[in-house]
Amino acid sequence: MPVEHAAIIGAGISGLTAALALSRRGISSEIFEQAGELTDVGAGLQVSPNASRILAEFSILEGLSKVWLEPDAIRLISGSSLRQLAAVPAGKFARERWGAPYGVLHRTTLQKALLAAVTADPLCRLHLGVRMDTTLPPFERAADVVIGADGVWSKLRQSVVGSPSPRFSGNIAYRFTIPENEAPSFLDRASVSAFLGGSAHLVCYPLRETGSFNMVAITAGNIAPQAWQSEPTAEQRAQLRARLSGWNAAIVSLLEKHRKLTFWPLFETTSGAWQDGRKTVLIGDAAHAMMPFAAQGAAMAIEDAYELAAFLSNRPVAEALALFERHRAPRIAKLRQRGAFNRFAYHAKGPIRIGRDLVLGLKPPLSLAADLDWIYGYRAADLP
């Protein structure tokens, strides 16, 4: 029996994308979100070509392209000497090589664009302020499939036997923004820059729509008794300073003097089942929350939603869910491996760091781009 109606739990990027993808297949949906309103949350976001080409399918890419930045390059830079180690071309090159743009923007900008498209779509209905616990909310009509898009702390996941569990990754993100007119000169106004150093790395890029720089320093760390805080404690700041030992003084000063850091413990999920063999399925962070070392969390949520809709469009639900998981799991596993490798490389010390810098220096830009073809050049299948 073909799917006619879906219930989607969560109105983040994965949930809203799922609703739009289902609508393209003629499938209606109800989206349930426990927040009373969708507020401005999160920080900067990188949208690579494998995700932006899907956004183009929903006719929202053109609007995003007017406000986001398409960086000239993704630069890898020494955190001690500020010397560029390597650069992957982006901008016009990304459009030509991977057939879609690479953009950076505020997460809220993307969510608002998706929300506007969902609100305008007669096949999508959004319910806000719906409290989620271990039971499902009341549906306006019977749902043929229930999609868990409720993030790393998913409540729906409890209904899938053998599903993943959230765990602390051992990594902390320190997030903050700087007004562009106050940003130091070593921050590239036209590129994504990743400063690499022993035990930590710092990712920086401009957010055109807010006139600021998005800054994220990631390092190993411990969870405080209260894991989520508006700013780090004195002890947590001291841990960050210790991790930046040997870094360029200008970067260390920038992090030390900024008082509005956000302490953000990074959680991931273990491996496990994404669907129950009947009618419930998990997507995005609910299924496979991963570390940001490959900058693909949002892109994987968008791919998940698009390809799940394709499977559901012409197969019985149970079969579609099993095939979806079997199709997506290898790509997610490969990206997790890539993220683990990037963490090792970005935080390398001593002789390994020296070797890393030599290898990166010998790789021409086109070779670095070729290493990313399997990620950025991926085309989510209409009928996988």
Q: What is the pLDDT along the chain (384 residues), one digit of tens a residue?
A: 679 999 999 999 999 999 999 999 999 999 999 876 676 666 899 999 999 999 999 999 999 999 999 999 999 999 999 999 999 999 999 999 999 999 999 999 999 999 999 999 999 999 998 877 656 777 778 999 999 999 999 999 999 999 999 999 999 999 999 999 999 999 999 999 999 998 899 999 999 999 999 999 999 887 754 455 567 888 888 888 999 999 999 999 998 888 788 888 999 999 999 999 999 999 999 999 999 999 999 999 999 999 999 999 989 999 999 999 999 999 999 999 999 999 999 998 888 988 988 888 889 999 999 999 999 999 997 644
Class (C level, CATH) for 5-71+101-166+268-341 = alpha beta
Q: Which residues contact 362 (CB under 8 A, 6 or more apart)?
A: none
Residue pair 279/317 in contact (Cβ under 8 Å)? The answer is yes
CA–CA distance, 163 with 274 (Å, rounded to integer): 6
Q: Output the pTM of the full model.
A: 0.94
CA–CA distance, 312 with 5 (Å, rounded to integer): 10
Tokens 């690499």 label which residue?
196
pLDDT of residue 259: 74
pLDDT of residue 382: 63
For residue 335, give Cα distances in angstroms to 56, 70, 242, 299: 23, 23, 30, 11
pLDDT of residue 372: 97
pLDDT of residue 383: 44
pLDDT of residue 234: 84
Q: Which residues of 58-95 are buried (b: 16+ CB within 10 A; e: fewer)?
A: bebbeebbeebbbbbbbbbbbbbeeebbbbbbbbebbe
pLDDT of residue 230: 64
pLDDT of residue 359: 87
Query: Which value, in Å, is the radius of gyration of the alpha carbons in the chain?
Result: 21
pLDDT of residue 189: 95
pLDDT of residue 280: 97
pLDDT of residue 226: 46
Tokens 């009618």 label which residue?
279
Helices (H), the chain: 13-24, 49-57, 61-65, 91-98, 107-120, 234-243, 249-257, 285-288, 297-312, 317-346, 350-362, 365-370, 373-376
CA–CA distance, 166 with 158 (Å, rounded to integer): 12
Long-range contacts of 361-367 (CB under 8 A, 24+ apart): 361/85, 361/86, 363/86, 365/86, 365/87, 365/88, 365/89
Per DSSP bridges, beta strands 44-47 and 28-33 are unpaired
pLDDT of residue 260: 83
CA–CA distance, 347 with 331 (Å, rounded to integer): 24
CA–CA distance, 206 with 75 (Å, rounded to integer): 13
